[in-house]
Amino acid sequence: MKTKQLLACAIVAAGLVSLWACNNAPKTETVKTEPQKVNDWYGFGSDTLYGEHLVAILDCAICHTPKKMTEFGPVPDETRAFSGRPTDMPLPPIDRALAEKYGFMVMDGDGTAFIGPWGVSFAANLTPHATGIGSWSVEKFITTIREHKFKGIKEGRDLLPPMPFFTTITDDELKAVYAYLRTVKPIENMVPSALPPTSVKQ
């Protein structure tokens, strides 16, 4: 045989041997691994720091923090962080029936009140004050967000727009968000109750 043929034979033989070896290798189960929860909260060191990061990237403040005016427009007012719609702030003079008829949403200048076909919704107070979520357990917090239910009452009403549907958020993520929100300054602010659409006679 010529060298080339010998080489070809050797390659085929090697291939067969490795095929045999693969077929006879002990079968290993593919185990699905969860993203590893490292003891240090995915590199953030603690649940509160991880929660702070999540709250920042999910931008809870854009709706839940009242705004202050700057030369670049309204920005979240850090001194009132996460305190929700201020109690006595009046709504702008909007024709609510028009928003209901055509299905659009109007956000007021403070960015904490939202007028639309559902009526008017007001961003909640998320601070650890009694008028916020001060008395809430972590379980109640998880049910509220995961199941999109007002005050975590399963039989109760759904949360209104524009509160996003964070229904696929994990327990670890929710626990971290909750842990962080326990550390922010408690602010007394009783957020007004949501209003039904004008078409609903009260």
The site for ligand HEC (CB under 6 A) is made up of 55, 58-60, 62-64, 114, 121, 123-124, 126, 144-145, 150-151, 159-160, 162-164, 177, 194
H or E element that contains 77: none
Give 124 or 184: the residue with its C-beta nearer to ligand HEC. 124
Smallest separation (angstroms) from ligand HEC to the CB of 69:
19
CA 135 – CA 51 distance, rounded (Å)? 19
Give 164 or 197: the residue with its C-beta nearer to ligand HEC. 164
Please give the C-alpha separations between residue 2 and each of 7, 8, 15, in angstroms, as whole numbers.
9, 10, 20
Give 64 or 67: the residue with its C-beta nearer to ligand HEC. 64
CA 133 – CA 35 distance, rounded (Å)? 30
Smallest separation (angstroms) from ligand HEC to the CB of 200:
15
Smallest separation (angstroms) from ligand HEC to the CB of 30:
34
Give 68 or 190: the residue with its C-beta nearer to ligand HEC. 190
Smallest separation (angstroms) from ligand HEC to the CB of 33:
26
Q: Is the peptide bond before 117 cis (omega within 30 degrees of 0)?
A: no
* Sequence letter at residue 34: E
The answer to whether 107 touches 113, Cβ cutoff 8 Å, is: yes
Helix segments in 70-170, DSSP class H:
96-102, 138-146
The answer to whether 111 touches 63, Cβ cutoff 8 Å, is: yes
Give 53 or 198: the residue with its C-beta nearer to ligand HEC. 53
Smallest separation (angstroms) from ligand HEC to the CB of 24:
52
Give 162 or 198: the residue with its C-beta nearer to ligand HEC. 162
Q: Which residues pair with 115 in a beta bridge?
A: 106, 120
Smallest separation (angstroms) from ligand HEC to the CB of 77:
16
Q: Which of 131, 140, 108 is nearest to 188 (CA)?
A: 131
